[in-house]
Amino acid sequence: MTVARHPAELELLALVEGELSRGAAQVVEEHLGACAACRAAVEAQRAARALLRAAPAVPPLAPQEVQALVRALPAHARPTPWWRSRPVLVGAPALGLAVAAAAVVISLSNGTPESRPTALEAAAPATGAPSAKAVPPAAARAGYGVPDAATGPGALLGAVAGTPARVVALLRARGIVATARDGQVLVREADGPRARAALATLPSGPVRVLVR
Amino acid sequence: MDPDRALAKRASNGDLAAFEALVDLHQPRLTTMAARLLGSHADATDAVQETLVRAWLALPRFRGDAKFSTWLTRICLNAIHDLRERRGQLADPEAPEAVDLRDGFAASELAGELQRALAALDPPFREAVVLYDVLGCSYAEISELTDVAEGTVKSRIYRGRAELAQLLAGTSTAGRESE
């Protein structure tokens, strides 16, 4: 290999990954000795590789979050053996979950579910019942309290950390129309239950979110 | 042989304990992947929770053609894409960049230089380097997860790293001059 003929990108990648045969690696190494551009490219690969691999793992969901999530999974997704089938009394939270789950249409492509509602949307009760059982799993985090009642205009849906603009962005990202006004955040009455569920995933703070 | 096969089979028959065991095994990886791809621990948590709900609902249809971990990772990637799409559609241009409000570690780490550089990469490149270098997936797994040929996967890893190094160095040392 001459200086004029640079190794292909994939050859350089293979060199960095130690995937080249000894002979092929030697040829590329010889080229690197004479070509500053390729040497720099390989150094860049090695530097980025090392940084990415040294990046610390991100803290996972807390065990209690996982437990709360698993417990809140819609029961109807589980096949019930015929000998266990019998009329079941469902409370409001269970009904809410079942209704929400029914709305989650799973379409499979090679067995993989595609674009669907968020976990919040899937797990949140359709009625917005304030029961802790009906709140999405993330709400189970300690200290993420929301008021128990959310009714008409002026009702307090929650008070969370951050800035009004940030809270508006978070709510909008969940499809909830929100506006910041006078240091507070206002949402439509119809979005109240969903806003409550979203706020339940945030830590308490000074930004008040109200029904407008 | 898929090491999760037995648990996945039990879970697909409605065994919640088996599903919880699978979640315990895989959610740390998924959270790291989602946080690196989305740049926010809060968004990552949303994506992982959504992934788990979707996976549970789809489990009765899991055929075992792919490894359970690959199947779950793919569901998570879809959830991440959906979340990013919604963010794109609904983003408030005046709102600050999403940062984690709950976790000091993630807030500082995910606001760091590496994460900023990752966020600047095109999504396919970001996905390739995160899957390969952060998660340790093989070329074949990434090819299966992203529906592109292995050669494309390698090229994305190479270019993603090159761009990342360039962004981090603030120079063009990562690029090769053609002669």
Tally the C-alpha atoms within 13 A of residue A188's C-alpha that lie toward its C-beta.
Answer: 6
B54 in reach of chain A (CB within 8 A): yes
Question: How large is the average pLDDT for residues B8-12?
Answer: 92
Which of A4, A58, A66 is facing B23, going by the closest CB pair? A66
CA distances from B25 to A11, B8, B49, B120 (A): 35, 12, 14, 30
Whether residue B33 contacts residue B134, with contact meaning beta carbons closer than 8 Å, is answered with yes
55-114 of B, contacting A, C-beta below 8 A: 55-63, 65-66, 71, 74-75, 78-79, 81-83, 85-87, 90-92, 94-96, 98, 101-103, 105-106, 109-110, 114
pLDDT band for position B34 (cuts 50, 70, 90):
very high
CB–CB contact B86 A173 (8 Å): yes
- Inter-chain residue contact B154 with A13, CB threshold 8 Å: yes
Alpha carbons B77 and B64: distance in angstroms, whole number = 19
| A135 and A160 belong to one structural domain | no
| Residue A119 distance to chain B (closest CA, Å) | 4
Residue A1 falls inside a structural domain: no
DSSP for B42-61, please give it.
HHHHHHHHHHHHHHHHHGGG
Query: Domain check: are A198 and A166 in the same one?
Result: yes
CB B30 within 8 A of CB B55: no
Cβ contact, residue pair B56, A59, below 8 Å: no
Residues of B in contact with A207 (CB under 8 A): none
Report the C-alpha gap between B90 and A174 in whole angstroms.
8
* Residue indicated by tokens 């390739």: B128
pLDDT in tens, A140-183: 333 233 334 446 778 888 888 777 777 777 787 677 777 777 77
User: Which residues on chain A are in Cβ contact (under 8 Å) with B58?
Assistant: 106, 108, 111-113
Residue A5 has pLDDT above 80, yes or no: yes
Q: Report, as an integer, the average pLDDT of A32-53.
A: 95
DSSP 8-state code for residue B130 = I
Q: What is the mean pLDDT of residues A48-63?
A: 90
Question: What stretch of H or E contains B79?
Answer: helix B68-90
Q: Which CATH architecture has domain B112-179?
A: Orthogonal Bundle (1.10)
**pLDDT of B67:** 92
Mean pLDDT of A82-111: 40
**Residue partners of A120: CB distance under 8 A and separation at least 6:** A136, A138, A174, A194, A197, A198, A201, B46, B49, B50
Structural domain range at position A31: 9-54
Examine the domain organization and report whether A153 and A190 are in the same domain: yes
Interfacial B residues in 108-127 facing A (CB < 8 Å) = 109-110, 114
Would you list the DSSP string of A151-201?
-STT-EEEEESS-HHHHHHHHHHTT--EEEETTEEEE-GGGHHHHHHHHTT
Residues of chain A with C-beta less than 8 angstroms from the C-beta of B95: 165-166, 168-169
Q: Quick one: A136 and A200 in the same domain?
A: no
Domains of chain B: which residue ranges? 1-103, 112-179
Q: Positive or negative CA dihedral for A4, A7, A12, A18? A: negative
pLDDT above 60: residue B171: no
**Global pTM value:** 0.63
The model's pLDDT over A8-30, given as tens digits with 9 standing for 90+, comes to 999 999 999 999 999 999 999 99
Interchain CB contact of B139 with A (< 8 Å) = no
Q: Report yes or no for ipTM above 0.95.
A: no
Contact A52 B176 (CB under 8 A): no
Verify that A121 and A156 share a domain, yes or no: no
| Contact yes or no for A114 and B78 at CB 8 A | yes
User: Taken in order A11, A15, A19, A20, is the CA torsion positive or negative?
Assistant: positive
For the ranges A23-32, A73-82, A90-99, the one whose mean pLDDT is highest: A23-32
Tally of domains within chain A:
3
Distance from CA of A96 to the nearest CA of B (A): 15
- Domain B1-103 maps to which CATH number in 2.130.10.10, 1.10.10.10, 3.40.50.2300, 1.10.1740.10? 1.10.1740.10
Interval B65-75 mean pLDDT = 94
Establish if A194 belongs to a structural domain. yes
User: Which residues in chain A are contacts of B110 at CB distance < 8 A?
Assistant: 58
CA nearest neighbour of A120 among A209, A194, A203, A202: A194
Q: B44, A119: Cβ pair inside 8 Å?
A: no
Q: Would you say residue A2 lies in a domain?
A: no
Position with higher pLDDT, B106 vs A42: A42
Share of chain B above pLDDT 70, in %: 82
Asked whether the beta carbons of residue A108 and residue B61 sit closer than 8 angstroms, the reply is yes
Domain match, A179 and A131 both: no
